[in-house]
C-alpha cells in the first residue's frame, strides 16, 4: 500500500454521513465527468489519536436519492483523486449468499464478478494516445483490507475476511433463480455498487478496500420475504459496527 496521506470513506446505504467525523469543511466540486453524488466532507475522526485528514462521500447522495445504476461513479472517483485521496474504504450493503453471511454481519471481500451491463466502467475510452489495460487480478488492496481486519480484531468485532462479491445492475433485487446462478458461480455476497467503483479506483491508482454489511439473505435463501423494514434493521446493526470499526482503523494508522 502506498503512503496513506489522505483516506476517503465512501458511504453506501445506511451510511450517508459519519457521526464520528468532525467536519471542518464541505466542498462542492465538478469534474470532467459531471457532478459527484455529494459534496466532499473533510474532517477528522473524533476519539481518534490520529489527525489524518479524511474525506467522506455519500455514494447515493446525502438524502439517499441516487439509485445504484444512476451513481456517477467516474465523477465520484475523479473528485476523490483530485482531492489528494490515496486510499478508499468503501462501505457497501449486500445480500448474503454463503451460509456464514448472516444478516447484520460484516465481510471484507477479496474478489468480485461484474454482472452489470449499463454502466460506464472506465476512464480510458476517449482522446487516448494508447490503449490501457489495468491489472485487476486482485481488485481489493490486501494491505488496506488487512488494516480493516486488524482493527476488527482489536475491537473484537466479528468480520469475515474473504468473499466474492457479485455486482448486479439493480435497482431491483435479484430473483431466486439468479441467486442460484450466482451461487454456482462461487459468489458469496451480492450487491449493486461494487462495480465499476473498484475498477475505477484501480485505474486512478488509489488503494481500495470494502467493508460489506449483510443486509439480508439473498432471494430464495430464507423462508421470509425480503422487506425494506428488515433490511433497514439489519443495516442499522451492521453500520453501528462499521462506524466503530472505522474509528479503530484511524487509531491503528501510523
| Banded pLDDT at 254 (limits 50, 70, 90) | very low
Residues 90/215, Cβ–Cβ less than 8 Å: no
Residues 166/182, Cβ–Cβ less than 8 Å: yes
**pLDDT tens digits for range 155-169:** 899 999 999 999 999
Query: According to the model, what pLDDT value does residue 14 have?
Result: 60
Find the mean pLDDT for residues 66-82.
97
**pLDDT tens digits for range 11-21:** 876 665 565 66
User: What are the backbone angles phi and psi of residue 92, rounded to the nearest 5°?
Assistant: -130, 135
Nearest to 77 by CA among 127, 129, 120: 120
Q: What is the pTM of this model?
A: 0.91
Residue 238 burial by CB count (10 A; 0-12/13-18/19+): exposed, middle or buried? buried
The CATH number of the domain covering residues in 7-119+133-252? 3.40.50.1580
Nearest to 213 by CA among 97, 95, 112: 95
How high does pLDDT run on average in the chain?
Answer: 89
Query: According to the model, what pLDDT value does residue 1 have?
Result: 58
Q: List the alpha helices (DSSP H) in 25-173.
A: 73-82, 142-155
Q: Give 122-173 as a DSSP string.
A: -STTSS-SS------SS-S-HHHHHHHHHHHHHHT--EEE--EEEE---SSP
pLDDT over threshold 50, residue 209:
yes
pLDDT over threshold 80, residue 23:
no
Amino acid at each position: 500500500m502506498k503512503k496513506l496521506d489522505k483516506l476517503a470513506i465512501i458511504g453506501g446505504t445506511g451510511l450517508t454521513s459519519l457521526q464520528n467525523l468532525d467536519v471542518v469543511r464541505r466542498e462542492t466540486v465538478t469534474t470532467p465527468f459531471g457532478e459527484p453524488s455529494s459534496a466532499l466532507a473533510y474532517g477528522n475522526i473524533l476519539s481518534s489519536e490520529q489527525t489524518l485528514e479524511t474525506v467522506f462521500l455519500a455514494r447515493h447522495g446525502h438524502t439517499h436519492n441516487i439509485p445504484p445504476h444512476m451513481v456517477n461513479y467516474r465523477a465520484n472517483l475523479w473528485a476523490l483523486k483530485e482531492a489528494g485521496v490515496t486510499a478508499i474504504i468503501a462501505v457497501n450493503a449486500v445480500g448474503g449468499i454463503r451460509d456464514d453471511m448472516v444478516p447484520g454481519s460484516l465481510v471484507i471481500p477479496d474478489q468480485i464478478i461484474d454482472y452489470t451491463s449499463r454502466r460506464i466502467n472506465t476512464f480510458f475510452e476517449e482522446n487516448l494516445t494508447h490503449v490501457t489495460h489495468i491489472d485487476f487480478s486482485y481488485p481489493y488492496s490486501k494491505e488496506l483490507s488487512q488494516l480493516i481486519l486488524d482493527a476488527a480484531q482489536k475491537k473484537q468485532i466479528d468480520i469475515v475476511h474473504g468473499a466474492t462479491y457479485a455486482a448486479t445492475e439493480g435497482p431491483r433485487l435479484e430473483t431466486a433463480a439468479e441467486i442460484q446462478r450466482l451461487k454456482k458461480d462461487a459468489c458469496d455476497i451480492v450487491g449493486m455498487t461494487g462495480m465499476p467503483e473498484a475498477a475505477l479506483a484501480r485505474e486512478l491508482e488509489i488503494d481500495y478496500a470494502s467493508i460489506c454489511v449483510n443486509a439480508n439473505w439473498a432471494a430464495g435463501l430464507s423462508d421470509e420475504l425480503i422487506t425494506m423494514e428488515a433490511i433497514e434493521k439489519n443495516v442499522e446493526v451492521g453500520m453501528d459496527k462499521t462506524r466503530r470499526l472505522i474509528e479503530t482503523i484511524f487509531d491503528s494508522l501510523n
